[in-house]
A and B are shown apart, each in its own frame.
Chain A
Amino acid sequence: MPAEAIMADKHSKDHDMHAHSAHEVQPPVLIGQHTYGSLSDKVASIPLDPKHSKGWIFGFLIAFSLFGLLHTVLGWVFAWGVGVWGITNPIGWGFDIINFVWWVGIGHAGTFISAILFLVKQQWRTSINRFAEAMTLFAVACAGLFPLLHMGRPWRAWWVFPYPNTMGLWPNFHSPLIWDVFAISTYATVSALFWYTGLIPDLATMRDKAVFKPVKMIYGMLAMGWRGSAAHWQRHQMAYLLLAGMSTPLVLSVHTVVSFDFAMSLIPGWHTTIFPPYFVAGAIFSGFAMVLTLLIPIRHFYKMKDMITDKHIDNMAKITLATGWMVFYGYIIEAFMAWYSGNQFEGFMMLNRMTGPYAPMYWALILCNGIIPQLLWFKRVRLNMLSIWLISIVVNIGMWLERFVIIVTSLHRDFMPSSWDMYYPTEWDWGTFIGTIGLFLTLIFLFIRVLPMVAGFEMKELLHHRKKHH
């Protein structure tokens, strides 16, 4: 262990002893002999570097070409209709809604980290919250595409908004899809505001550090005249706290409402009261998995192991494990209830999931979400970046499969055996899915290149606390 790290460890220990009067040994959340200046430099250096690194260009080009694929697919879907997808008569929703729910779920970690962990004063969140929040926004942007895309007549999409019109027509407020519209748009708005509010002090730092005039001007405009005065700080902190308070219920409500899309219907496998908590837990589960999937390579390539420490990864892995169990509990209860209810349709639905044509999906889902995450009990696994990265990807796949199983296996064999059918995704389904991954990654690449991906001022606060207690 380099001397620097030992020192940091010591500092950290001291800090924790003072802060919590606790005797257990806490791993550090900030490593190294950082000063305010070095932190600022490190955070700002990535966006302000005039040269694009080769790795970034390479990654961006891949992401951007997938984004191009999305354009092609959208053009095709709009030109011909949703019939280009594999959806059929009993299976009216396929990849469109699977991806929608998947992306919305991923978009939960950011706000959870920023808002809830902020309110419960989890200081380790500071170095990852910015990134997680950005990821949230991009995931919600991807998710937001699908409600529009999945419509038969997307050019009429604005009818789902309540706007005054001469015909006196309103959307149907009974429909969970309308609740979705409100839930998702509110969530997107509040998350964006929260993220932007958190960015302002760092944007000012960027403005101050930028050398090239136009760049300086852009950051300047975005910083909205931030000068770092005490009044600014006081108001900023209050606004941030309020937004955190507002975001917190949204984290829980969004996926609850999304789960209502299913729970409010009468389809066996959808019509389940456990859905809201189980969906929220699943969302946080998948969100943390996605944060891990992205952050582990980023902290490696951008050499940020001092800010995003093993402690962060470890904590996130623990949350993943905890939420994973909530989800797994949901699966168990679903199966139990199907049997316990004595309802012929529920029972068949569960049996069909486990033994029907899509049984491989179901068992893969159990493996990905229920079995493999159990490895996270082992500290060795949690601290091995490769293993935890692989597990996070497995969880991402598992959560995608979960939505596939819920949507497809419930619809493909419901009440009328005469109408049973199979769902096979087409190349356009895959194109849409991969295309949105392209959109997501493109945005991520742009984000890490133009904005500070670590909340510099919060890190400085952390440093300040550390120094104060030292």
Chain B
Amino acid sequence: MNKKLEGKTGHEYWRSFEQAAETPEFKAWAKHEFPNEPEIWDRGTTRRDFLQLMGSMIALAGLAGCTKQPVEKIVPYVKQPEDLVPGRPLYFASAVTLNGFARGVLVESHMGRPTKIEGNPAHPDGEGAADSRTQASVLDLYDPDRSRAVLANGELSTWTAFAAAVARRLDIQRIKEGEGLRILTRTVVSPTLAAQLSDVLKQFPKAKWIQYSPVNRDNAREGAIRFFGSDYAVRLHVAKADVILALDSDFLNDGPGSLRYAKEFASRRRARGGKVLGGKMNRLYSVESSATITGASADHRLPLASSKIEDLLVAVAAKLGVKVKTAQSFSEAENRWIAAVAKDLSVNKGRSLIVAGDHQPAAVHALTHALNRALGNNGKTVAYTQTVEPVSQAQTAALKELAADLEAGKVDDLYFIGTNPLYDAPADLIFSEKILRAGFRAHLGSHEDETGRHCHWHVPAAHTLESWGDARAFDGTVTLIQPLIQPLHGGKSAVEFAALLEGKAGVTGHDRVKEYWKTVGSIDWDKSLHDGVVAGTAFEEQDPAPAAQPDLKRTEAAQAPEGIEVNFRPDPTIGTGESANNAWLQELPKPITRITWENIIAVSPRTAAKLGIKQGELDTLDAGGRYAKSSVLWIDWSGRLLEGPAWIVPGHAEDSITVYLGYGRTRAGKVGDGTGYNAYALRTSASPDFIRGAQVGVTGKKTAVASTQDHGSMEGRHLVREATAAEYVKHPEFAQHLVHDPKPNETLFKPDEHLKAENQWGMAIDLNTCIGCGACTVACQSENNIPVVGKKNVLNGREMHWIRIDRYFEGDADNPRMVHQPVPCMHCENAPCEPVCPVGATTHSQEGLNDMAYNRCVGTRYCANNCAYKVRRFNFYNFVDDAPSLKLLRNPDVTVRTRGVMEKCTYCVQRINHARIDAKKADREIRDGEIVTACQQTCPTQAISFGNIKDPNAAVTKDKADSLNYGILTDLGTRPRTSYLARLRNPNPELEPAAEGSHAGGGHHG
């Protein structure tokens, strides 16, 4: 009994001896007690819901309100921590790692609880911006499903016991020089961890350290080696490029440098006052198989099967004078495209850029290096540095070798540091069987996941916000990771785990990281911690000479087999599966498809017609209701089978389909389990990026896919207004002439009635720079305690996001243009929602905010009905998950809403109030830029401006004064405070001749 309790650290209260021990007897008793619902005991929700129902029944019986409230003592600090003012958050610089790479962040901490992750303005990647996954990682910290104890063969144990066991195993391995020792990690970009593992390899020379991330840069590595002779990291200078060709690359939204690249890309898209800022707008060509954000942002997008992109590049290369064995022919339209791109690239030598996606084969990467070099882009728009990961490895090959070693019985001790190969390893390696050959398996992971449960030992991993560490960003800049909170469940960091293997069992994470940096040289530890970057650690840019004989050979294509190409892509929101238990990311609509809570098989409209897929239109009446709209497909590739729902994606390449990794997990936790299908089942080590010649068909089954936007056409309404850059220069005010709005002050009432108070808040969103990534949605969710509702309720249209991204298609269904429009509350000066509320729960503030008094709301939903912009969100149920750990996550400045209450964007009124208090204390006005809304703060492309529209010098006032500025549905007389800056495209006149006499490009919509 006591031994079991040793395993618990900190304040873990136990209710009974049986519970504390979790004895088999107790479990058996629990099973016996709840025979039909064995999951009730494991899963908090059901029991809680049961209690809720019981509670409300008691309330109905008139017995409520008589319970004694628990005594809560309020005790002041004996020693007041420095800088801590109750009610004001503190911010700490740190890093969150995505696939190993650092995202520099500032973490907001309320009274010791990290509540929100924001970008670190001092960090080179986002300069204050953060992507959705980085921000959502704070939810992982409080995930109620995280593993909470060291487990030995599934039984409670302790870290000490584990350390002792490891020491014993290492003693044996030491004799064998580590011959049977294997360590499997993800891509390691942490200098300390890499040094530690190298140290382990030094102590055990025959041991092996394998890095494996399911989506890795094997192809890029191989491509660099082919061209330069050794591996280099590519760094883009997107801001310097006038013409960009992206080859199946989602560089604006995916990968370690994406935040930076998106920002630089946006810097060349802005226009004000009839001029494109920076003189010339860049032009992005994108050729891709699946539709991505980069493709949607492109001026010219060509859908092409992944396997044909190499041919396309070869064709472009031929026109640029780089001769490679040429291959298949293209259609006339495609040839025109190729010629135009090649011409544009060559005209803009030194100002052009070719980017290859990581899942394109090595040959494409090698040829890209050659072309960038030939175009004189090196050192200008593209640069090379040493690889960011200290040890660059051919990961899939390394994993394959590990599998072979396991098979051969060569592996005795196998350590998994944050990896989950039983879920994400290529299917042909059959890891689930092979790892059983290793006699000692230990797993460090945040959850007792698919791999963890098949290990002898499982150690709970500390979250990044709980641990010391370090990591490099895309350019090599190091961030020291500092903990903001004691490990909630006594987790251990990778550094601490690796220290065990080094034989430094007693060393803390803090000491080990510090020790490493002492060996490197002197860094200013305190300053580095404070700033969130270690000064001068970015890698120097190099201009490596090509190898003597650059290897530009084509990918050996096995004769093109009959059948369909299948692409494997990481899921756009939950990645390769690590974030599967993150409900914010699960409910964040995936860019382009707007699907939540699962992965789909993306199919182009033509391919769908060929396959006979009948996707019920989501917005037609269906006898089956909303629940059975999508056909389930089967995919058969060399005997490997997969089933998943088809989803027709306009703009997907033909004869090619895309499956998304990251779903179909079985031990992710309550949130992630049972969502989607597992695409790894089809993925082999030989072709992890795309396969050709798959047989695909419809199963006849139907399923429900939860999409937040069922209708993709704008129906001729001028919601997103668009023109080409050339048209804009001719007619800068084109956006104003599409709708005949009432004149600003055409009213019988006092026209400026709404402008009395000194501060009048307003927002402008630049559609020209918005790429539709959805980071704002997560930022808002985190800032404003917005609940998630689950798949069923998303299917019912009840998602709660206060800022949504609308996506519209226009033009040809095979290759449509895609536009994004973030929609928060418009804070109409003449708000239709306000007069209809029977209890006056939504009213207008003096400062022009459309306020929502949750306490007063009775939930008639009339306001939502009468909102022209449909931004109001209703709590149809009690959506708030009150798991104890999630309570710690909430922003104390924002009310948590109950069932039956309407809510919507407040322009982050809590931030406005903080600024107001500060200004009042200092007896001054609120400065422009002092209030930054959550969505604005995190936007990678800085598309949002916010401030006092009465201040003529405020950034938002200037944006709103611009000719691009327009409001949507202003003809209703709503006078929205949120306005948009019209979108501009920069098409190549050779591919898209200017429309005659048109001064309103967005005239034709779907």
Query: CB within 8 Å of B: which residues of A?
Result: 75, 78-83, 86-93, 150-154, 156-157, 159-160, 169-172, 174-178, 181, 261, 264-267, 344, 348, 357-358, 360, 411, 413-422, 424
A99 to chain B, nearest CB (A): 15
Excluding A83-B876, A169-B839, 8 further A-B contacts by CB distance (< 8 Å) are A80-B877, A82-B859, A89-B798, A90-B797, A151-B900, A175-B838, A266-B972, A422-B620
Inter-chain contact A156/B858, CB cutoff 8 Å? yes
The proximity string for B residues 893-905 relative to A, scoring 1 for CB distances below 8 Å and 0 otherwise, is 0000011111000
Q: Does B840 contact A (CB under 8 A)?
A: yes
Given contacts A79-B57, A171-B840, A264-B836, A414 and B618 within 8 Å (CB-CB):
no
The 8 Å CB contact of B711, one of A83, A150, A152, A417, is A417
A75 interface neighbour in B60, B856, B858, Cβ under 8 Å: B60
The 0/1 profile, CB within 8 Å of A marked 1, for residues 821-860 of chain B is: 1010000000010011111100000000000000011111
Given A89-B799, A89-B873, A169-B840 in contact, is the A344-B717 Cβ separation under 8 Å? yes
Cα separation A91 to B867 with both chains bound (whole Å): 11
Please determine whether A87 and B717 come into contact, CB atoms closer than 8 angstroms. Answer: no
Docked CA distance A86–B797 (Å): 10
CA distance A160 to B876 in the complex (A): 20
Residues of B within 8 A of A92 (CB): 861-862, 864-865, 874
16 A–B contact pairs at CB < 8 A? A82-B876, A82-B900, A88-B798, A93-B861, A152-B874, A152-B901, A171-B840, A175-B840, A177-B860, A264-B835, A266-B868, A266-B972, A416-B823, A419-B806, A422-B621, A422-B622
Whether B836 and A265, one on each chain, are in contact in the complex, defined by CB atoms closer than 8 angstroms, is: yes
Bound CA–CA A72/B5 (angstroms): 47
Which residues does chain A contribute within 8 Å of B804, judged by CB atoms? Answer: 418
A360–B797 Cα gap in the complex (Å)?
A: 23
Contacts A78-B60, A417-B711, A417-B717: A265 and B865 contacting too (C-beta < 8 A)? yes
Q: In the complex, how many angstroms separate the beta carbon of B918 from the nearest chain A beta carbon? A: 30
Pick from A152, A159, A265: contact of B856, CB under 8 Å? A159
**B717 close to A415 (CB less than 8 A):** yes
Residues of B within 8 A of A358 (CB): 621
Distance between Cα atoms of A424 and B878 in the complex (Å): 21
A152 CB contact (under 8 Å) in B52, B56, B861: B861
B882 close to A (CB within 8 Å): no
Q: Is B515 an interface residue (CB 8 A)?
A: no
- Using Cβ atoms and an 8 Å threshold, which residues of chain B touch A413? 619, 711
CB distance from A31 to the nearest CB of B (A): 50
Tell me whether A86 and B796 are in contact (CB under 8 A).
yes
Cα distance A181–B862 when bound, in Å? 14
Q: B837 to A175, Cβ gap below 8 A? A: yes
Beta-carbon contacts under 8 Å, B863-890 to A = 864-866, 868-870, 873-878
Instruction: Name the contact of A267 in the complex, choosing from B860, B865, B877 (C-beta under 8 A).
Output: B865
In whole Å, how far is A127's beta carbon from the nearest beta carbon of chain B? 41
A172–B969 Cα gap in the complex (Å)?
A: 26
A152 near B900 with CB under 8 A, answer yes
Contacts of A344 in B (CB 8 A): 716-717
In the complex, what distance in Å separates the CA atom of A152 from the CA atom of B837?
Answer: 13
Asked if residues A418 and B56 are in contact (CB atoms below 8 Å), the reply is no
- A contact residues around B840 at 8 Å (CB): 169-172, 175
Q: Give the residue among A177, A178, A265, A417 with the most B Cβ atoms within 10 A.
A: A417
Query: How many angstroms from the CA of A422 to the CA of B859 in the assembled complex?
Result: 21
3 closest residue pairs by CB, A with B: A152-B859, A152-B900, A83-B876
Across the interface, do A416 and B806 meet the contact criterion of CB distance under 8 Å?
yes
The answer to whether B876 touches A81 (Cβ under 8 A) is yes
Q: Cα distance A418–B806 when bound, in Å? A: 6
A171 touches B619 (CB 8 A): no
Q: How large is the interface on B (under 10, 10 to 19, 20 to 34, 35 or more residues)?
A: 35 or more
Contacts of A418 on B, CB cut-off 8 Å?
Answer: 709, 711, 719, 804, 806-808, 821, 823, 870
Residues of A within 8 A of B713 (CB): 417
Choose among B619, B719, B874 the residue that contacts A422 (Cβ–Cβ < 8 A): B619
CB distance A421 to B901 under 8 Å? no
Among A87, A357, A415, A416, the residue within 8 A (CB) of B876 is A87
| Bound-state Cα–Cα, A414 to B868, Å | 7
Q: How far is the CA of A63 from the CA of B899 in the complex (A)?
A: 33
- Mostly helix, strand, loop or mixed at chain A's interface? loop
Knowing A172-B839, A421-B710, the reply to whether A151 touches B716 (Cβ < 8 A) is no
**CA–CA, A54 and B509, complex, Å:** 85
The residues of B that contact A86 with a CB separation of less than 8 Å are 796
Given the known interface contacts A88-B798, A267-B866, the answer about A178 and B838 at a Cβ–Cβ threshold of 8 Å is yes
Residues in B with CB closer than 8 Å to A87 are 861, 876
- Which residue of A79, A153, A174 contacts B859 across the interface (Cβ within 8 Å)? A153
Q: Does B715 touch A at the CB level, under 8 Å?
A: yes
Q: Which residues of B contact A360 (CB under 8 A)?
A: 621
Mark contacts of B796-823 with chain A using CB atoms, 8 A cut-off: 1 yes-contact digit, 0 otherwise. 1111000010111000000000000101
| Measured CA separation A121–B840 after assembly (Å) | 45
Decide if B839 touches A160 in the complex (CB within 8 Å): yes
| Residue of chain B at shortest CB distance from A358 | B621
Interface assignment of B374: CB less than 8 Å from any CB of chain A? no
Is residue B714 within 8 Å, beta carbon to beta carbon, of the partner chain? yes
Say if the beta carbon of B744 comes within 8 Å of chain A: no
- A92 to B860 Cα, complex, angstroms: 8
- Tell me whether A421 and B619 are in contact (CB under 8 A): yes
Instruction: Looking at the assembled complex, report how far the CB atom of A270 sits from the nearest CB atom of chain B, in whole angstroms.
Output: 8
Nearest-CB residue, chain B, relative to A264: B836
Q: A89-B874, A416-B870 are in contact. Are A175 and B862 (CB under 8 A)?
A: yes
User: Does the CB pair A420–B874 fall under 8 Å?
Assistant: no
Q: B145: shortest Cβ distance to chain A, in Å?
A: 25
User: Is A422 a contact of B618 with CB atoms below 8 Å?
Assistant: yes
A424 and B626 contact, CB distance less than 8 A = yes
CA gap between A91 and B840 in the complex, in Å: 21
Q: Does B625 contact A (CB under 8 A)?
A: yes
Minimum CB–CB distance for A220 against chain B, Å? 34
Chain B residues with CB under 8 A of A90: 797, 864, 870
Q: Return chain A residues, CB-CB under 8 Å to B717.
A: 344, 415, 417
Residues of A within 8 A of B53 (CB): 79-80
Q: Which of B60, B716, B807, B870 contacts A414 (CB 8 A)?
A: B870
* Closest B residue, CB atoms, query A74: B60
- Asked if A265 and B870 make an inter-chain contact with CB atoms under 8 angstroms apart, the answer reads no
A154, A159, A160, A418: residue with the most chain B Cβ atoms closer than 10 Å = A418
Whether A151 and B870, one on each chain, are in contact in the complex, defined by CB atoms closer than 8 angstroms, is no
Whole-angstrom distance from the CB of B96 to the nearest CB of chain A?
A: 31
Could you tell me the distance between the alpha carbons of A215 and B823 in the complex, rounded to whole angstroms?
A: 66
Within 8 A of A (CB), among B47-68: 52-53, 56-57, 60
For A157, what are the chain B residues with a Cβ–Cβ distance below 8 Å? 858
**Least Cβ distance of A365 to chain B in Å?**
15
Set of chain A residues within 8 Å of B714, measured between Cβ atoms: 417
CA distance A388 to B547 in the complex (A): 95
Q: Are A416 and B868 in contact (CB under 8 A)?
A: yes
Closest residue of chain A to B853 (Cβ to Cβ) is A169
Q: Cα distance A152–B872 when bound, in Å? A: 14
A172: contacting residue among B626, B821, B838, B866, CB under 8 A: B838
Say whether B703 faces chain A, with CB atoms less than 8 Å apart. no
